[in-house]
Amino acid sequence: MMGKLTARAIAERALEIGDAEGLDAVTIRRLASDLGVTPMALYWHFKNKEQLIIGMADHLIGGFAPKPADQRPWQEQLRDLTEGLINTLRTHPCAKHVIEQIDAVAVPNFLAVWDQALGLARTAGFSVEESCLITKYLLQSAIAIADAPVHDQAFLSGEDLAQQVRFKRLGLQSLPGESYPHLVEMAGPLVEPKDPHLYDTFGVDLVLSGIEALAARR
């Protein structure tokens, strides 16, 4: 009736639910009912819920296929990779939670970008263990940057969003000013940034500056 029930279709629908209502709303039973099928039908395509979330992650990362290593300097390639990560984290609100909940080793597409990042870190002159840490650091940094207060295309309707922002700011402003002076003062910008684009470049600069500074000392 509405397309075949395939592992890919299930993962895609799961991502839609997760992006729209949060990862907690992605439930085997809810997902099945959305797909017009019995909960147990999903167990044919995924061994359990953990594998389902891994499927979501794989589909997510598959979105930005890492190009094969080219001849540009590693700084540029690393920047591309970081921006790609940030971008998919931005377009998929639930990506953060998905990535946090699973083991990267189980996600094929994730292994691909991880391997590429490891290679770039090695060519930058870092040791094996340093490269290991740098790649983890890069992922977490991307999460931090992508986690900036939502600016556009939110899944909430415009009114709900505005109200939620107002609510959060009020919560910050009503804190005891003597205990949290900076939080109270910065309540506005903390919940609704003005320039998302500048926000991006600054964040990526921040991450790459650290890596390049240490690479220069090798």
Contacts to DNA by CB under 7 A: 4-5, 27-30, 37-41, 43-45, 48-50
Other beta carbons within 10 angstroms of residue 138's beta carbon come to: 22
For DNA, the closer of residues 59 and 90 by Cβ is 59
Instruction: Please report which residue ranges of the chain form alpha helices under DSSP H.
Output: 7-21, 28-34, 39-45, 49-62, 74-91, 95-101, 108-123, 128-146, 158-173, 181-185, 187-191, 196-216
Cβ at position 30, least distance to DNA in Å: 5
| 47 lies in the site for a second copy, by CB under 8 A | no
Rounded Cα distance, 49 and 101, in Å: 11
* Size of site (CB under 8 A) for a second copy: 55
Relative orientation angle of helices 7-21 and 49-62, to the nearest 10 degrees: 90
**What's the maximum distance between 2 C-alpha atoms anywhere in the chain?**
62
Cβ at position 167, least distance to DNA in Å: 20
Cβ at position 196, least distance to DNA in Å: 33
Cβ at position 103, least distance to a second copy in Å: 9
**How close are the terminal C-alpha atoms of the chain, in Å?**
61
User: 171, 173, 197, 218: which one contacts a second copy (CB under 8 A)?
Assistant: 171
| 66 lies in the site for a second copy, by CB under 8 A | no
179 binds, among a second copy, DNA, none (CB under 5 to 8 A by kind): a second copy
Stretch that binds a second copy, among 55-63, 70-78, 151-159, 198-206 (CB under 8 A): 198-206
Cβ at position 106, least distance to DNA in Å: 14
Relative orientation angle of helices 196-216 and 128-146, to the nearest 10 degrees: 170
